[in-house]
Amino acid sequence: MTKTVSLIGAGSRGRYTYSPYAKQHPDEMKITAVAELRPDVLADYGEEYGIPEERRFPSAEEFFRQDKMSDFAFICTQDGQHKKHAIMALEKGYDLLLEKPMAISLEDCRAITEKANQTGRAVVVCHVLRYTPFYAKIKEVLESGRIGSVVDLHQCENVGYWHYAHSYIRGNWRKESESSPMILAKCCHDLDILYWLAGKKCRAVSSFGSLKYFNEKSAPEGAGKRCLDGSCRIKGECPFDAEKIYIGSPVTGVRVNQSWPVNVLSLDLTEDGIRRALEEGPYGRCVFACDNDVVDHQIVNMDFEDGVTASLTMCGFTSQVNREIKVMCTGGELTADMVSGKIHVTPFGKETETIVINDEYDALNGHGGGDHMLVEEMMHTDMDKLSSMSTNINDSLHSHLMAFAAEMSRKQGGKPVSISSLY
Ligand SMILES: NC(=O)c1ccc[n+]([C@@H]2O[C@H](COP(=O)([O-])OP(=O)(O)OC[C@H]3O[C@@H](n4cnc5c(N)ncnc54)[C@H](O)[C@@H]3O)[C@@H](O)[C@H]2O)c1
């Protein structure tokens, strides 16, 4: 049976990540209403998905004044709006896809969880990594017991210098007060995966990190205020130059790429359109002259039940955008990275087996296939079983609490914070 969806927020994620499933599988998912603040995007999206005028709403607030009109509401607005929109949706009786982070404060995450449990509606949180063939295979290897039981895990979140500049210096997640701390915005995925793979509840965390480099005092001599206004004398050698990232880059530049990250800058995806956005908008600012305050590197130590430990390194100073993981078990070890899609499994005293996973998935844009597979699982799961999906609200709350605890610890100079104290 076709399931119907109302999209709340037709931005980067709502429009380009989750909606395409409806085009690929029209017999499974149909988008029947949309709420979007930007009139041009609302009209454009409405046309693209054949949504009648009377089901195109200029805001989420206006949409939720109507009676329930679909099976799901996909909440894809910005971090600070999730609580309000999720609570309104649950009160109207929708089952939800809720973008991560669930919300930007501990209290708000708890409020959504309570409302979901009280209304009996499902909230599927977009911890998409759990749905990737890459992490699913790692989980399968660990659960098989062939390298014993998990003792310690280490994950490295290599954010990538240009991705870091795009999202966390120039873009939407640069300021804690307007979005959320980096460890929540970016790393709730990593903490959630470590929790899932450890297979135990987390008892306590400690954390260190800071905004070390991307601030005015680190600006190299000759740096300007914007990349395209002629004021910068080091543009040629600067890797963060906006023109290199958004126009000339053979990976991300508009000459070869029409999707993320350039589609965040403008609806006009021509070279002229992107150049104009860089000349006028926030993405053309020098990385040393922005109003960013989130950390550029952070580490988190975790203590799980049964003496299992884990550590996470998040760092903006990496050439690749990649996640690497090492899991040390009583009978062997596993190392893997998402870009190569290679998982090396070495039982002690035996040959290493290499499993290659994700040739067919786009490890960069689609979160290694996880974005697509999360929606697929929602469409394939009976409506009354949605709450038992892996990324259900109660499990997601636990990993969000780990992120809040990490941030509390970082702000207290690394003092351990117990998770149970936050419930
Ligand atoms: N799961 C993941 O891996 C992942 C990755 C990136 C971003 N995200 C999260 O997804 C969410 C959306 O991110 P994005 O990059 O798509 O942002 P975005 O800014 O591109 O999209 C948000 C959209 O919501 C619209 N909007 C704002 N207020 C509204 C309102 N009151 N009513 C209706 N529409 C409204 C905006 O106009 C915009 O189009 C964020 O919470 C972000 O943190 C998740």
The pLDDT value given to residue 364: 46
Q: What is the pLDDT of residues 285-333, one digit of tens each?
A: 999 999 999 999 999 999 999 999 999 999 999 999 999 999 999 999 9
- Cα 182 to ligand 1 centroid, rounded to whole Å: 16
pTM of the model: 0.93
Which amino acid belongs to residue 294? V
What are the angstrom distances between the C-alpha of 112 and each of 96, 123, 215, 344? Answer: 11, 9, 35, 39
Q: Whose CA is nearest to atom 29 of ligand 1?
A: 37
DSSP state for residue 220 in the 8-state scheme: P
Pocket residues: Cβ below 6 A from ligand 1: 8-14, 35-38, 41, 59-60, 76-79, 81, 99-100, 126, 128, 172, 185, 367
- Cα 223 to ligand 1 centroid, rounded to whole Å: 32
Cα torsion through 142, 145, 150, 151, rounded to 10 = -150
3-class secondary-structure state, position 284: helix
- Cα 324 to ligand 1 centroid, rounded to whole Å: 27
Answer for the pair 161, 319: CB distance below 8 angstroms, yes or no: yes
Q: What is the pLDDT of residues 9-31, one digit of tens each?
A: 999 999 999 999 999 999 999 99
The pLDDT value given to residue 365: 54
The pLDDT value given to residue 368: 74
Residues of the chain predicted below pLDDT 50 = 363-364
Q: What is the pLDDT of residues 247-300, one digit of tens each?
A: 999 999 999 999 999 999 998 999 999 999 999 999 999 999 999 999 999 999
User: To test the ligand 1 pocket, which listed residue (77, 109, 364) has its Cβ within 8 A of the most ligand atoms?
Assistant: 77
What are the angstrom distances between the C-alpha of 314 and each of 82, 110, 358, 363, 366? Answer: 24, 26, 23, 18, 20
The pLDDT value given to residue 5: 98
The pLDDT value given to residue 370: 87
